[in-house]
Structure 1
Amino acid sequence: MPRLKLTLPEGSDFETQLNVRVTDLNYGNHLANQALLGMLHEARVRFLAYLNYTELGNATTPGIILADVEIQFRHEAFLADQLNIALRVDQLNRVGFDLYYRVSNVTDQTEIALAKTSIVFFDYHTTHKRASMPASFEQAINAIRETNEKIRKQQP
């Protein structure tokens, strides 16, 4: 059976940390697959907030809707592990983008999972249909990347 192989783009646009909670564990006493999907959702919401966006949008700005998800599990994570989730936007297009996630253990840098979600802009307020990507979204991504590049150049 062929296995899923995700190739993530270089770099990250945003990083956040989450702890594995007891409610995130499965019968094997490690991070459950549905709990990881929930953590990716939490990381995505934090990223959108960082960009001053929300999943639901508002009367003038579309929200987003998840079109699909791919997850490649690499290692187990356990109760109280602190996970770093690095996100990277790629494949921007007229109505959406792909969002890549690299999940790793903060303590030992073990890669826990790789993931990709395909995101579509969606008008929740009037048409209830997909919508065009707002120019301000692409501008916000470019601004983050410019800032990150300046920081990298200042590091020894």
Structure 2
Amino acid sequence: MARVIIQLPERFVFSTEVPIYIGHINYGHHLDNALLLSLVSEARVRFFKFLGYTELDVEGVGIVVSDAAVQYKSESFHGETLVFEMTPAEFNKYGCDLVWRATDKASGREVARGKTGIIFFDYGARRPVPVPAGFVAKTDPAQCA
């Protein structure tokens, strides 16, 4: 089976810190792989808030997560703080990938990297809609500097 390889961008437009709580730890005494995705979700909510949006209101439409890929790089432990960096990439008609990296704040050790595919969605009509131009403009790296 081919391994997942996530290519990172040169620059991320957003960064946030998320602590690792005891509830994130598994029987191996490190961050549970499934719970990492809950931390990515928290970072994604903060990313949209940073842009002035919610996941249900991005220029009048919502988002839906369409897929996710993760490449684990090292363990993470209770009490550490992860720095999540995030930026959109690979835009298509209805969505994009949110590419992210998680590193330990204290050491700079990379813990994981990944991408979450999102589509923009009209919840009233129950259908995908084109990527809002305002979202594209707000996430242009030149605008987020």
Same fold (TM over 0.5): yes
1:15 aligns with 2:15: yes
What TM-score comes out, normalization by structure 2 length?
Answer: 0.94
Name stretches of at least 5 consecutive residues in structure 2 with no aligned partner. Answer: none
Distance in 2 between the 1:72 and 1:147 partners? 26
Give the letter for the 2:16 counterpart. T
* Structure 1 contact 57–123 (Cα < 8 Å) conserved: no
Distance 1:147 1:37, change over 3 A: closer
Q: Following superposition, which runs of at least 4 residues in structure 1 exceed 3 angstroms of deviation?
A: none
Helix, strand or coil: the match of 2:88?
strand
Name stretches of at least 5 consecutive residues in structure 1 with no aligned partner. Answer: 149-156
Helix, strand or coil: the match of 1:146?
coil
Distance in 2 between the 1:2 and 1:93 partners? 25
What is the Cα deviation at residue 145 of structure 1?
2.8
Count of residue correspondences: 145
What is the Cα deviation at residue 146 of structure 1?
3.2
Distance in 1 between the 2:42 and 2:103 partners? 15
Give the letter for the 1:112 counterpart. V
Distance in 2 between the 1:30 and 1:145 partners? 37
What TM-score comes out, normalization by structure 1 length?
Answer: 0.88
What is the match of residue 107 of structure 1? 106
Structure number, greater radius of gyration: 1
Q: Percent identity?
A: 34
Q: CA RMSD in A?
A: 1.4
1:78 aligns with 2:61: no
* Structure 2 contact 5–71 (Cα < 8 Å) conserved: yes
What is the Cα deviation at residue 147 of structure 1?
4.3
**Which stretch of structure 1 is more off in the superposition, 79-88 or 1-10?**
1-10
Distance in 1 between the 2:115 and 2:2 partners? 18
What is the Cα deviation at residue 23 of structure 1?
0.3
Helix, strand or coil: the match of 2:130?
coil
What is the match of residue 65 of structure 1? 64
* Structure 2 contact 16–83 (Cα < 8 Å) conserved: yes
* Structure 1 contact 100–117 (Cα < 8 Å) conserved: yes
Distance 1:88 1:147, change over 3 A: closer
Pick the aligned partner of 1:135 from 133, 137, 142.
Answer: 133
What is the Cα deviation at residue 94 of structure 1?
2.0
What whole-Å deviation, never above 9, does each CA across 1:74-132 have from its counterpart, x for those lacking one? 100000101100002111222111111110001110000011011100111x2111111
What is the match of residue 37 of structure 1? 37
Which structure dedicates a bigger proportion of its chain to strand? Answer: 2
